[in-house]
Amino acid sequence: MFIRFQHFVLIYSTACLPARYVFTFLASASLAIIYGLKVNLSVAIVVMVNSTALSEIALTYDSHNNDTHLNESSNSEFACPANANTNQTDSSQDGPFAWPEPIQGLILGAYFWGYIVTQIPGGRMAEMFSAKWVVWASVFVNVLFTLLTPVAANISYIAVLVVRFIEGLGAGVSMPALQVLLSKWAPPNERNKISSLVYAGMSLGTVIALPFSGILAEKIGWESVFYVQGGLGSIWCILWILLVFDSPKDHPRIHPAERDLFEKCMENGGAKRPNLPVPWKAIATSVPFWALLVAHMCNNFGWYMLLVELPTYMKHILRFNIGKNSLLSAVPYLCLWVFSIIWSNLMDYSKNKKWINTTTVRKLSTAVASLLPALCFIGVSLAGCDRITAIVLMSLGTMFMAAMYCGILANPTDLASNYAGTLLALTNTAATIPGFIVPVFVGALTHGNQTVNSWQIVFFTTAAILLVELIVFTLFSSAEEQPWNQAYTTGAGAKGRPRAAETKQLNKRTSV
């Protein structure tokens, strides 16, 4: 039966779709799965935790210690009032685990502790060995340990920490490895389209996972969030093995016309390039690289604030139940997915018309991805209990984040196309730090104090960090090729000599 299915898939995919589009779809799906399995716990934890028990513990602590600050959280002037339109949660949605906010923050942040470790090794493994199998291993690890999450939760929160840490280890190699595959499977005239579609998988996975997780948790139970999504992700693992290859030259069933396309427009037909030594010292002293790194870190602080903490804010402050919470949490990412496609095409059109150059594209895109979300965070802080305004502003703030695909995420190729995977791994490593800072930061501010005032501090801080991104990237970034991008030949008689002319021509073809 499996052999028949395999034969059908191979014949159908080869006859109906170009190989590069099959890669694009499955690469986008890989990020959708990884991001979906990343955010599903943000929804599930809302019903895994026994909020009623935690509230009683907080009140008991308050009565024993006469803590007036904690008591403020029960006053109506500090929390949004419930009404018939909010579908406020009740004790029937409480879960079995009495994990206080700091523990919840550790659980949500553990993923990023692992994610930060494997960025650079993952990038180098993908460049030196097989990027296809690095991506496959990334998804497989996330699928497997997602299926083990309910078992771990029933053992101890420490077991959940370990499971999420391992998931992060697996996910950390995905983006650097996909960057390597994109350099081989995206022809220059289609690079913007293919890259945008692949990266859009991040938001698409979030759009699907948030409401789907909420529905599963509310209708079936929190365990189903992990069993169902993990099971669906396993299907991708089979398709990726059958249909994706490291380069067009490695693909046994690629159409001759498509193979000719890669032979004409890609260096060496898209085949794997020789391994080049990484100029670590030059990278470490590059001002544009540091501007990119700082901007990526700041942007991810705002990104993870929306990605990880939005469901918690909507439950405790705006007082939506888990079903409505997850549906509304998905709205911003649907906006982001649509806007990412619109914005990338707008930037391509403007650049092709020579209205703006590549540096302007990068700075303008980063400005949109930082300034406008910062203003939205400030607006949410001032909106207080105005639920409609808060939802609209959070949706807009998340939507504008999509411009980062044409800004900071595209900049590594500008600076050094030969080391784009390594550069992305370096900046993404630093940009992962906010992933485990954000949950702990929010947990520390809101522990026993789920109030509008405490969340205002959270949102104003996030806005300030996004403004730092805007200033640093505007002043110090560049889209010009850096001198240290010059590749070094490995052939006899020319070892160690820079191929400046070839590198310049290569970067013209691979610039975004």
- Domains of the chain, residue spans: 13-54+96-510
pLDDT band of 400, cuts 50, 70, 90: very high
pTM score above 0.85: no
Domain 13-54+96-510 falls in which CATH fold?
Answer: Growth Hormone; Chain: A; (1.20.1250)
Question: In this structure, what are the phi and psi dihedrals at residue 97, rounded to the nearest 5 degrees?
Answer: -110, 125
**pLDDT one-digit tens code per residue, 12-63:** 445 568 999 999 999 999 999 999 999 888 888 888 887 665 555 554 444 4
Q: Are 393 and 380 in contact (CB under 8 A)?
A: yes
**Predicted confidence (pLDDT) at residue 72 exceeds the cutoff of 70:** no
> Per-residue pLDDT tens for 316-339?
787 766 555 566 767 788 888 889
pLDDT tens-place string over residues 159-206 = 999 999 999 999 999 998 998 888 788 776 677 778 878 888 988 898
- What is the pLDDT confidence band of residue 454, given thresholds at 50, 70 and 90? confident
Distance CA 60, CA 284 (A): 53
Query: In sequence order, what are the beta bridge partners of 498?
Result: 488
Sign of CA dihedral 115, 510, 250, 11: positive
Neighbours of 107 (CB within 10 A): 24
- Per-residue pLDDT tens for 89-120? 444 556 778 888 788 888 887 888 888 889 88
- The pLDDT of residue 511 is 38
Per the prediction, the chain carries an average pLDDT of 80
Q: What is the 3-state secondary structure (H, E, C) of 97-157?
A: ECCCHHHHHHHHHHHHHHHHHCHHHHHHHHHHCCHHHHHHHHHHHHHHHHHCHHHHHHHCH
pLDDT for residue 73 is more than 80 = no
Buried-state track 187-201, b at ≥16 Cβ within 10 A, e below 16? beebbbbbbbbbbbb
